């Protein structure tokens, strides 16, 4: 395949990955990694390096819109990022000594199981907000946003300690495998902390950029961030994330949850298949 063809295929798939990733709060690796490894015959390490760049692009590209519309909850994001960043450093430190096959199988299975509560909440538009008390109150984990029809949605977070534990897992996973972090972040905020779906995915969108940036130095130094691969990925992702962010603002929570459930299922299957030696 000639270079220009290679760039074009990656550019177009990255636009799609950026749209999807920015809506459901993941980095788009779920689309980009299989395109690179299966279709373009790129080594998995380069694919993960490209995925890191894709995550940061999705996060920063969409954030411009999310910051303006006050959808991302910066306090929730920063508080949880404590666990994620620490987890990511631990994950990277032990990566050389860990059997990633077993890990992928375990975490893939956990994600698959999490599909059940996610699908059960599929009709939920705005969650019944719990009373703000305990640790959530001390940490000020509440907020509000406005839907496009003018409805003001007020929400409070609950069980921040469970969310924090989920985030530590997400961090270790990002540091170890370079994938799957975003799905765990959304699940922690949605299922444990009972935040509205939009707040969960956009806050995850903010966090994945920070977590990915934390491990970017290592991937860069290893030479896994290949210029020919990341150029079309970064450009496509930035365009896609800009489009996706506008779509999210106009979508209702149940639509976003359906898209997330789909991405969750595919991510889980990818991890399980990958542990069986099928690198998708």
Residues that bind other proteins (CB under 8 A): 1-7, 40-43, 45-46, 53, 56-57, 59-61, 63-64, 67-68, 74-75, 78-79, 81-82, 85-86, 88-89, 92-93, 95-96, 139-140, 206, 209-210, 212-218, 220-232, 234-235, 238
If you ran DSSP here, which 8-state letter would residue 129 be given?
P
Whose tokens are 């099928």? That residue is 278
Q: Which is nearer to other proteins, 60 or 142 (CB)?
A: 60
CB of 48 to other proteins, least distance (A): 11
CB of 121 to other proteins, least distance (A): 29
Q: Using alpha carbons only, what angle is made at residue 26 by residues 208 and 199, rounded to the nearest 5 degrees?
A: 80
Q: Which is nearer to other proteins, 88 or 263 (CB)?
A: 88
The neighbour count for residue 43, using CB atoms within 10 Å, is 13
The neighbour count for residue 171, using CB atoms within 10 Å, is 30
Calpha distance 240→238 (Å, rounded): 5
CB of 244 to other proteins, least distance (A): 14
CB of 250 to other proteins, least distance (A): 19
CB of 130 to other proteins, least distance (A): 21
75: closest CA among 18, 19, 156?
Answer: 156
Q: Which is nearer to other proteins, 127 or 163 (CB)?
A: 163
Q: Which is nearer to other proteins, 202 or 253 (CB)?
A: 202
Q: Return the sign of the alpha-carbon dihedral for residues 184, 195, 201, 52.
A: negative
């Amino acid at each position: 395949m000639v270079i220009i063809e290679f760039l074009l295929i990656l550019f177009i798939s990255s636009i799609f990955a950026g749209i999807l990733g920015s809506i459901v709060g993941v980095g788009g690796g779920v689309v980009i990694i299989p395109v690179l490894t299966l279709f373009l015959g790129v080594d998995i390490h380069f694919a993960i390096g490209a995925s890191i760049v894709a995550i940061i692009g999705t996060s920063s590209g969409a954030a411009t819109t999310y910051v303006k519309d006050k959808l991302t909850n910066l306090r929730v994001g920063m508080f949880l990022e404590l666990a994620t960043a620490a987890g990511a450093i631990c994950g990277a430190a032990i990566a050389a000594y860990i059997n990633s096959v077993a890990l992928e199988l375990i975490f893939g299975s956990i994600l698959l199981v999490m599909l059940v509560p996610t699908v059960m909440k599929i009709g939920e538009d705005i969650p019944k907000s719990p009373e703000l008390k305990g640790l959530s109150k001390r940490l000020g984990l509440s907020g509000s946003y406005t839907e496009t029809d003018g409805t003001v949605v007020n929400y409070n977070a609950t069980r921040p300690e469970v969310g924090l534990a989920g985030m530590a897992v997400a961090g270790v996973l990002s540091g170890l495998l370079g994938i799957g972090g975003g799905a765990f972040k959304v699940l922690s905020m949605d299922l444990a902390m009972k935040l509205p779906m939009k707040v969960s995915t956009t806050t995850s969108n903010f966090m994945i950029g920070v977590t990915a940036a934390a491990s970017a130095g290592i991937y860069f130094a290893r030479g896994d961030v290949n210029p020919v691969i990341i150029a079309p990925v970064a450009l496509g992702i930035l365009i896609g994330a800009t489009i996706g962010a506008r779509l999210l603002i106009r979508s209702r929570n149940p639509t976003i949850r359906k898209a997330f459930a789909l991405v969750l299922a595919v991510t889980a299957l990818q991890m399980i298949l990958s542990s069986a030696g099928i690198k998708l």
